[in-house]
Amino acid sequence: MADKRSRSGDITIYDIAEQVGVSPSTVSRALAGSSRIGEKTKAKIIEAARAGQYSGIAGTEGGKKLRRLVEVVFPLAVAGEQRITDPFYLDMLAVVADGLAERNFNLVLINETPWARRGNVAHLPHVAGMIIIGHAPDQEALQRFGRENSNLVVWGARVDGDHHLTVGSDNVAGGRLATEHLLSLGRRRVAFIGDPAEPEVTQRQEGYLQALKEWGAGQQPILFKSPFNAYRARIAAQAAVASSADFDAIFCGSDVIALNVIDALRSVGRRVPEDVAVVGYDDISLASAYGQSLTTVSQQIPVGGQLLVDVFCSALAGEKVDSKVIPPKLQVRESTISHKKS
């Protein structure tokens, strides 16, 4: 049978699936060496793959280990605003890249959502699957894509309707940790700043609201909106500081937002933490290296990045695997605790 090829001339798992009469996920699992695929079916798939010169077969050929591709996608919400140079993305990418290399994978970086390009994972030849770091702005599109593509793992909050695997921190618990820390220091006018359009931030805000209620602080929520993008976060931070709202502490939906809030407070002569205590979220590398180190909720990026790779590889091999939730950890630093002697 003559092989069918993509427009680029390279055979894909979808071409192989059509030739053999199985699903693309079965092809992917067979080529990954899964024991859950029958030997006869696996042999047919491998024969079709070799005939089409498909190089994504697990194991070795000619004594040389093969390195398959994994798409690592950063679904940037608005072109030109949030960039792949965002510190959280860079920290997570470093861990994921190392983990994939250890499993004999190469990666290709993509900065647009896959459904905007083509409705399947293997749009490039020899792509084994996809890791998306951060939720896409169109949740319905992501959920549809998750139903159609099994070799997909997403970093971020698990939300109702998800059909894909996720790895992420417990954002509600993280929001509670941050707010309870501020309340335990005697702060009674605690604000929150973040973008509730993001599922993770919505959950962090929920933790903030729960802590206010359970501590009986007697305050109404003080809420400000800010995107993750550094430039817009700076504008939002300046607006929050210039507002009439009276707050003595602020919990920020990300470290990038928090660092901008600290700069905005200093620009108007307000001291951190003496006048306003500040807590971030993520624990990016810059949080501990900043001039005044930042108290933050750690998502344990080294753990999370490795889990992303582990879950992805297990799913690719056809193993039963569940989504993972990482417990957050509070890292207390100088933005809430002053070490200066009075």
116: confidence class by pLDDT, cuts 50, 70, 90: low
Number of neighbouring beta carbons within 10 Å of residue 7: 5
By percentage, how much of the chain surpasses pLDDT 90?
48
The pLDDT value given to residue 58? 54
Residue-wise DSSP of 10-23:
---HHHHHHHHTS-
Whether 61 shows a pLDDT value over 70: the answer reads no
Q: What is the dihedral of CA 244, 249, 252, 255, to 10 degrees?
A: 120
Length of the chain: 342
Alpha carbons 173 and 87: distance in angstroms, whole number: 23
pLDDT digits 0-9 by tens, 130-173: 999 976 667 777 888 888 777 899 998 887 777 889 999 999 99
pTM for the model: 0.77
Segment 201-219, tens digit of pLDDT: 999 999 999 999 999 867 8
Domains and CATH numbers, the chain: 13-64 (1.10.260), 65-168+302-326 (3.40.50.2300), 171-299 (3.40.50.2300)
Checking if the pLDDT of 295 tops 80, the result is yes
